[in-house]
Amino acid sequence: MANLTIELAKAKENIERLAGDYGLDFFQTIFEVLEFDELNQVAAFGGFPTRYPHWSFGMEYDQLSKGYEYGLSKIYEMVINNDPCYAYLLKSNPMVDQKLVMAHVYGHCDFFKNNHWFSKTNRKMMDQMANHATRIHRYIDRHGYEEIEKFLDICLSIENLIDPHSVFIKRPGHSEVDAQLTTGEVKKLKSKDYMDKYINPPEFLEDQKRKLEEKAKQKKTYPPSPVKDVLLFLIEHAPMEQWQRDILSIVRKEAYYFAPQGQTKIMNEGWASYWHSTMMTRNILTASELIDYADHHSGTLAMSPGQLNPYKIGIELFRDIEDRWNKGKFGSDYNQCTDLVEKKNWNTNAGLGKQKIFEVRKVYNDVMFIDEFFTEEFCLKHKIFAFEYNPKTTQYEIYSKAFNIVKKKVLDALTNRGQPFIFVVDSNFENRSELLLSHRHEGIDLKIPWAQDTLKNLFQIWKRPVNLLTKLDEKEKILRFDGEKHQELGGEKKAS
Amino acid sequence: MALKIDQNYRRFKEIIRGKIKQDLKKYMSSGEMIGKQGKDYVSIPLPRINLPHFEYDHEKKGGVGQGEGQEGDAVGKPGEGEAGSGAGRHVLEVDVSMDELAQIMGEELELPRIEPKGNKQKLDSPKYRYTGIRPTGPESLKHFRRTYRQALKRQIVSGTYNPKDPMIIPIREDKRYRSWKEIPQPVSNAVIVYIMDVSGSMGQEQKDIVRTESFWIDTWLRSQYKGIESRYIIHDAAAKEVDQETFYHTKESGGTIISSAYKLCHHMLTQHFDPGEWNMYVFHFSDGDNWSAEDTNMCMSLLKSELLPLVNLFGYGQVESQYGSGQFIKDLEKGFEKNKEFDHLITSKIDSKDDILQSIKTFLGKGK
């Protein structure tokens, strides 16, 4: 399958062996050499050779090919999480770039295979995607292109309403209902009579009883507790045609497949950059390639005022971790040390760097990674700042360089992949089979016109009025779409 | 080679052009058309359609960046490259020269190249092209390949060439040099007159539209003609010629008498430019609210007898304004409809920023 030239095949063999020697552990990796238009197509399809037909892929292709034609941008690497891993090389790239990409790709492959957040992804996604495409083509044959496209638009408009953590949770089956709830009585601890009021204090019992009653009341609503996987809820409960249900579940499956890549963008790119940099500079580069390599490497890691470059932050954090653990800059002794000079020169020759970064790549995701390793020293060293919108100048302005503010901003942007938390709260809202969603407001309002249009799309699926409980300018509001018009109601109504 | 993606690509293009699925049109973003002008740094608009999601109001969100700077320093405008560490959505932004930019725009809008009118061409200073070869010349113009080829020829003929030890040494007679030819370049000149209505009813938003649109028209025409002059006229009840800076920044008020501007424009064109040598373009932007029907009639006759016979193209762009009646465009259309002789009068309605591209296409799409 691989169409590598002899030179490339040799380079591949060499880099693969090197990567193994450095302790990277990856699926079998297959490289393919593509022309630029083929590569743009694959990239537009999210790395896959086949996807279901939808204009949005055409749009990505448009952007990529225009960018390439006008000489604005070029895709460097494209690798997909699959067993075996597939990676693509651009035919027109010079040899030094091909080697850089290969080294980078092995970093990604190792990450895909070993990072815990990828452990539940389908490793035969290549086949699964093709299968999805075939199914959707079949529906198109039966129901017509327009119809399917319209429904796909709806599905893609809500594809972010999933819960990437849910794949790791094992819940008991529905049959187990809390015994306390059915009897309505609070369980008491066993005790002798004279001890009873100490072991089971009456106030506590009262309190428990009240809670129980509240819970019982809640149980009348369905779902009994808020559900974050809105798509699954709709697939299971919304009145749809079978083909619609199938398409929605296809969109959901693919969203889950791509979710971990969103959750680990910084780490994944950082890890791959760390390894391409290590392998290229220590082993692979020839003297004549050095300048080109340095040029392209710095291009990839360039920082810009408008946003954080995940490659840059990732690689620097991994290097920082390695350095700290090599010098023993961790643990309570180090953390409690108040002498800055001593802290700076701290070195216990612990030599745990390599071990630590491999451990980090195994269990962390971006949120945890930043939360734990984004230190004040790091923030200062790399000149990271937070910016906010200034309505007076209609510009983004640097608003603070203080560590805790910057860190909070970074975490905000990463939490839930930078998207709002939306839950299904009630499927029989107002006792009228209306759907009630709730937005857990964390300081930033939703974009209202978009939220309204999304509700409109949800209505197409739920077929009854849909409501979204959110906050606007600090006030609770329900956005409602009843099939004809949008309404904005005060939040009190949810009390029912 | 046919690619699988072609079908999706065509579909997307059709949506963009508004042929199908008009309901998606409102999700289309074409980016800000002039990002950072100056230093020839321009952001290129590539249309995107973003399906609605439950999403944060990005404007209020802010983000994180990296680099030098103090608190209070600006890092960019919203919509410009989607500042922020959020999703990886990118607006392409690069150094593009104005010429390239015009070319890109021409491709995007499928604009035809402009055919200069009549024999309004004069011969400009000649251009030099290195096309020929000659046996003498300065060393800096030595043509290595031809020189060595000549030497090889000579050595083979004279029998001094040894294929086992292929050493070729050129001697003086072998040397070849590049030579040049003079090519007279036909050059046509053009003058563009921008007229803007600055009466009280034209607000900031309307002027922004005019500014953006004239920037792109200017860019395109400049790529088509070598010598270009731009002139600016503003008018309310009276018209006057101004410089570019004033054109975009004045806030006048008062009524609107369009004929005043047409008179001035005619005067300017006939006094300063020889119609035999210049290609003339006039673009007029207004909210379409003229003072009186009488004046409108006067405009019509001015156009018919004086202006239209002079110019290559007369573009009238009407911007939507909440105060204007928007009558003028209807009058124009009625007055010149179905008149082949006046098909270089083109009208276009610009209701919002999103219509700018379409409007430019209307103006320049005929290759006049």
Residue B87 predicted with pLDDT over 50: no
**Residue A99 Cα, gap to closest chain B Cα (Å):** 26
Enumerate the residues of chain B whose CB falls inside 8 A of the CB of residue A304.
Answer: 65-67
Using 50, 70 and 90 to split pLDDT, how confident is the model at B32? very low
Give me the pLDDT at residue A67, please: 74
Give me the pLDDT at residue B214, please: 83
For A:69-128, CB contacts with B below 8 A are: 70, 72-73
A65-92 pLDDT, tens per residue? Answer: 877 776 666 776 789 999 999 999 988 8
Domain contains B8:
no
Determine the Cα–Cα distance for residues A88 and A77; give it in Å rounded to an integer.
7
Determine the Cα–Cα distance for residues B86 and B63; give it in Å rounded to an integer.
8
Shared domain for B256 and B342, answered yes or no, is yes
Q: Which residues fall within 8 angstroms of residue B152, CB to CB, at 6 or more apart? A: B161, B168
Shared domain for B168 and B290, answered yes or no, is no
Q: Say whether A308 and B104 touch across the interface (CB within 8 A).
A: no
A402-441 pLDDT, tens per residue? Answer: 899 899 888 988 888 888 999 999 998 888 999 999 999 8
Q: Say whether A394 and B4 touch across the interface (CB within 8 A).
A: no
Q: Say whether B65 and A54 touch across the interface (CB within 8 A).
A: no
Least confident of A124-128, A192-196, A391-395: A391-395
| Cβ A426 vs Cβ A221: under 8 Å | yes
What is the mean pLDDT of the segment spanning B323-339?
75
Proportion of chain A above pLDDT 70, given as a percent: 93
Domain contains B354:
yes
Residue B86 predicted with pLDDT over 60: no
Q: Say whether B13 and A62 touch across the interface (CB within 8 A).
A: yes
Which uninterrupted H or E stretch holds A340? Answer: helix A340-344
Shared domain for B260 and B220, answered yes or no, is yes
In chain A, which residue's Cα lies nearest the Cα of B58?
A: A447
- Quick check: B32 contacting A, CB < 8 Å? no
Q: Say whether A396 and B76 touch across the interface (CB within 8 A).
A: yes
Which uninterrupted H or E stretch holds A427? Answer: strand A421-429
Using 50, 70 and 90 to split pLDDT, how confident is the model at A1? very low
- Quick check: B44 contacting A, CB < 8 Å? yes
Give me the pLDDT at residue B123, please: 54
Q: Which residue has the higher pLDDT, A99 or A192?
A: A99
Residue B269 predicted with pLDDT over 50: yes
Shared domain for B234 and B322, answered yes or no, is yes
Picking from B183, B210, B226, the residue at the C-terminal end of a domain is B183
- Quick check: B49 contacting A, CB < 8 Å? yes
Enumerate the residues of chain A whose CB falls inside 8 A of the CB of residue B104.
Answer: 70
- Quick check: A384 contacting B, CB < 8 Å? yes
B34-64 pLDDT, tens per residue? Answer: 444 444 455 556 677 888 888 887 666 677 7
Picking from B117, B151, B183, the residue at the C-terminal end of a domain is B183
Give me the pLDDT at residue B90, please: 35
In chain A, which residue's Cα lies nearest the Cα of B28?
A: A59
Find where tokens 């409108």 sit: B296
Give me the pLDDT at residue B92, please: 41
Q: How many domains does chain B have?
A: 2
- Any idea what the CATH number is for the domain that residue B202 is in? 3.40.50.410
**CA distances in angstroms from A375 to A41, A145, A306, A372, listed in the order given:** 40, 52, 21, 8
Shared domain for B333 and B305, answered yes or no, is yes
Shared domain for B259 and B355, answered yes or no, is yes
**Which pair of structure tokens corresponds to residue A479?**
């956005």
Q: ipTM of this predicted complex?
A: 0.81
Give me the pLDDT at residue B20, please: 67
Domain contains B26:
no
Shared domain for B178 and B193, answered yes or no, is no
Q: Say whether A38 and B87 touch across the interface (CB within 8 A).
A: no
Which of the residue ranges A163-167, B24-28, B122-126, B350-354 has the most confident prediction, judged by mean pLDDT? A163-167
Shared domain for B194 and B166, answered yes or no, is no
Residue B186 predicted with pLDDT over 80: no
Helix (H, G, I), strand (E, B) or coil at A168: helix
Residue A173 predicted with pLDDT over 90: no
**Nearest to A154, CA basis, from A460, A469, A479, A419:** A460
Q: Which residue has the higher pLDDT, B291 or B144?
A: B144
Determine the Cα–Cα distance for residues B141 and B138; give it in Å rounded to an integer.
6
- Quick check: A493 contacting B, CB < 8 Å? no
Determine the Cα–Cα distance for residues A407 and A396; give it in Å rounded to an integer.
18
* A283: DSSP letter: I
Enumerate the residues of chain B whose CB falls inside 8 A of the CB of residue A389.
Answer: 59-62, 78
**Residue B245 Cα, gap to closest chain A Cα (Å):** 21
Give me the pLDDT at residue A2, please: 62
Give me the pLDDT at residue A180, please: 61
Shared domain for B270 and B147, answered yes or no, is no
Give me the pLDDT at residue A136, please: 96
Interstrand relation of A466-472 and A475-481 (parallel, antiparallel or unpaired): antiparallel
Enumerate the residues of chain A whose CB falls inside 8 A of the CB of residue B54.
Answer: 158, 160-161, 419-420, 422, 439, 446, 450-451, 454, 468
Give me the pLDDT at residue A281, please: 92
Domain contains B7:
no
Domain that holds residue B194: 187-364
Shared domain for B172 and B244, answered yes or no, is no
- Quick check: B1 contacting A, CB < 8 Å? yes
Picking from B119, B149, B183, the residue at the C-terminal end of a domain is B183
Least confident of A233-247, B61-75, B130-144, B260-274: B61-75
| Cβ A25 vs Cβ A110: under 8 Å | yes
Enumerate the residues of chain A whose CB falls inside 8 A of the CB of residue B86.
Answer: 413, 418
A279-307 pLDDT, tens per residue? Answer: 999 999 988 899 988 888 887 887 766 67
Domain contains B137:
yes
Q: Say whether B56 and A418 touch across the interface (CB within 8 A).
A: yes
Q: Say whether B12 and A419 touch across the interface (CB within 8 A).
A: no
- Quick check: B87 contacting A, CB < 8 Å? yes
Residue A14 predicted with pLDDT over 90: yes
Tell me the count of A-B CB pairs closer than 8 A: 228
Give me the pLDDT at residue A430, please: 86
- Quick check: A251 contacting B, CB < 8 Å? no
Domain contains B303:
yes
Residue from B23, B75, B104, B208 to probe the interface with A (highest A Cβ count within 10 Å): B75
**Residue A56 Cα, gap to closest chain B Cα (Å):** 7
How much is the mean pLDDT over chain A?
88
Q: Any idea how long chain B is?
A: 368
Give me the pLDDT at residue A271, please: 96
Q: Say whether B53 and A158 touch across the interface (CB within 8 A).
A: yes
Using 50, 70 and 90 to split pLDDT, how confident is the model at B228? confident
Residue B31 predicted with pLDDT over 60: no
**CA distances in angstroms from B339 to A139, B304, B342, B343, B344, listed in the order given:** 52, 11, 6, 7, 10
Enumerate the residues of chain A whose CB falls inside 8 A of the CB of residue B5.
Answer: 41, 44-45, 57-58, 61
Q: Say whether A394 and B77 touch across the interface (CB within 8 A).
A: yes
Interstrand relation of B41-43 and B63-66 (parallel, antiparallel or unpaired): unpaired
HSE toward the beta carbon, residue A92, CA cutoff 13 A = 8
Domain contains B67:
no
- Quick check: B23 contacting A, CB < 8 Å? no
**Residue A45 Cα, gap to closest chain B Cα (Å):** 8
What is the mean pLDDT of the segment spanning B230-240?
85
Name which of B61, B85, B94 is nearest A444 (Cβ-Cβ).
B61
- Quick check: A57 contacting B, CB < 8 Å? yes
Torsion sign (Cα): B320, B321, B323, B328: negative
For B:63-82, CB contacts with A below 8 A are: 63-78, 80-81
Q: Which residues fall within 8 angstroms of residue B297, CB to CB, at 6 or more apart? A: none
Which string of DSSP letters, residue by residue, matches B43-109? EPP--EE----S-B-HHHH-EEEESS--TT-EEE-TTSS--SSSS-----EEE--HHHHHHHHHHHH
**CB-CB neighbours of B321 under 10 Å:** 19
Enumerate the residues of chain B whose CB falls inside 8 A of the CB of residue A386.
Answer: 62-64
Shared domain for B238 and B336, answered yes or no, is yes
Residue A248 predicted with pLDDT over 90: yes
- Quick check: A9 contacting B, CB < 8 Å? no
**Residue B189 Cα, gap to closest chain A Cα (Å):** 29
B9-18 pLDDT, tens per residue? Answer: 888 888 876 6
A323-382 pLDDT, tens per residue? Answer: 999 999 988 888 888 888 888 888 888 889 999 999 999 999 999 999 999 998 899 888
Domain contains B83:
no
Shared domain for B214 and B335, answered yes or no, is yes
